[in-house]
């Protein structure tokens, strides 16, 4: 659970055609409801355009979203290999984001390589230094253009080591500036989110906002960013983050 907002999230891959249910991670369920799970009750799930009421049911593996979930599938146009991100706004009120081909607006997921990850840059992008924020820390990481995709290289392995992350974790990259991303990290097996101490990122004079420069100002780390005193190393242990268009 996020200690700052008292909310929690989980990420699920749709791995079958025409799903009729989705598993609720047990640790997510107990954070919301305690050990006495409210089987038979309903949660309200909404997105920007829809509101659904879905029943919490008991499956052999634990709690699931059951009766009513087929309507979520139909209304959202869910397909195999889409990702669902559920964010709790309360015990029985959740917000749903759907990642199509691992992409949603200015965010993307790394676990499956999508053809359109780099809609952010286009064919003219030549690579450069990116700032990756996880919780209250940041790393300067090189992003290189390969033959048919882009990859995080120098500095990426240090981020993984410093946070003691499993290489199979799912990462959501949220674009906060032209070459600035905030990362959300999810356990691979169960889908629940890892939480780190948060910091507010403010990006000014950035092309994504229509300006010419790339200056990054971080509210709580302004001096550190300006002097380039970030966590970075020379390791080349990249992670491919999307096909280059």
In this prediction, residue 111 carries a pLDDT of 54
Rounded distance between C-alpha atoms, residue 34 and residue 31, angstroms: 6
Cα 115 to Cα 101, 181, 213, 226, 243, distances in angstroms = 8, 19, 28, 35, 5
Give, for 58, the enclosing helix (H) or strand (E).
strand 51-59
Q: What is the span of the domain harbouring residue 55? A: 9-99
Compute how many other C-beta atoms are within 10 angstroms of the C-beta atom of residue 150.
Answer: 23
* Residue bearing tokens 């008292």: 6
Count structural domains, the chain.
2
Pick the last residue of a domain from 99, 130, 147: 99
Q: Which residue has better confidence, 53 or 103?
A: 53
Rounded distance between C-alpha atoms, residue 177 and residue 133, angstroms: 12
* Residue bearing tokens 């984001």: 97
Which tokens belong to 66? 């059951």
Q: What is the mean pLDDT of residues 25-45?
A: 94
Pick the last residue of a domain from 66, 99, 132: 99
Rounded distance between C-alpha atoms, residue 233 and residue 51, angstroms: 46
Q: What is the pLDDT of residues 126-140, one digit of tens each?
A: 678 888 888 888 899
In a domain, 20, yes or no: yes
Q: What is the per-residue DSSP string for 68-100?
A: THHHHHHHHT--TT-EEEEEEEETTEEEEEEEB
pTM of the model: 0.71
Rounded distance between C-alpha atoms, residue 141 and residue 231, angstroms: 9
Q: Which residue has better confidence, 227 or 150?
A: 150
* Residue bearing tokens 């059951």: 66
Report the Cα 36 to chain-centroid distance in Å: 29
Q: What is the DSSP letter of 121?
A: T
Residue 25 region by backbone torsions, left for phi larger than 0, else alpha for psi between -120 and 50, else beta: beta
In this prediction, residue 233 carries a pLDDT of 41
Q: Are residues 110 and 173 in the same domain?
A: yes
Which tokens belong to 191? 């889908």
Q: Which residues contact 172 (CB under 8 A, 6 or more apart)?
A: 11, 85, 107, 108, 109, 183, 184, 185, 186
Q: Are residues 87 and 109 in the same domain?
A: no
In a domain, 3, yes or no: no
**Residue 211: is its pLDDT beyond 50?**
no
Rounded distance between C-alpha atoms, residue 138 and residue 156, angstroms: 11
Pick the last residue of a domain from 99, 121, 137: 99
């Amino acid at each position: 659970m996020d200690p700052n907002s008292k909310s929690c999230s989980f990420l699920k891959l749709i791995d079958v055609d025409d799903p009729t249910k989705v598993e609720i991670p047990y640790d997510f369920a107990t954070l919301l409801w305690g050990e006495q799970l409210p089987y038979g009750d309903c949660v309200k799930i909404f997105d920007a355009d829809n509101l659904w009421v879905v029943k919490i049911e008991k499956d052999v593996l634990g709690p699931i979203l059951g009766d009513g979930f087929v309507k979520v599938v139909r209304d959202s146009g869910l397909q195999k290999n889409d990702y669902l991100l559920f964010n709790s706004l309360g015990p029985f009120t959740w917000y749903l984001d759907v990642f199509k081909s691992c992409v949603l607006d200015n965010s993307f997921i790394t676990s499956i390589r999508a053809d359109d990850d780099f809609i952010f840059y286009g064919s003219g992008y030549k690579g450069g230094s990116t700032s990756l924020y996880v919780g209250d820390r940041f790393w300067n990481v090189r992003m290189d253009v390969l033959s048919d995709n882009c990859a995080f290289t120098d500095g990426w392995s240090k981020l993984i080591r410093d946070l003691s992350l499993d290489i199979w974790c799912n990462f959501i990259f949220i674009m906060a500036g032209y070459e600035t991303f905030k990362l959300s990290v999810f356990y691979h097996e169960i889908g629940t989110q890892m939480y780190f101490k948060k910091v507010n990122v403010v990006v000014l004079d950035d092309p994504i906002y229509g300006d010419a420069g790339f200056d990054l100002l971080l509210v709580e780390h302004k001096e550190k960013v300006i002097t380039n005193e970030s966590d970075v190393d020379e390791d080349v242990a990249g992670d491919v983050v999307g096909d280059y268009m």
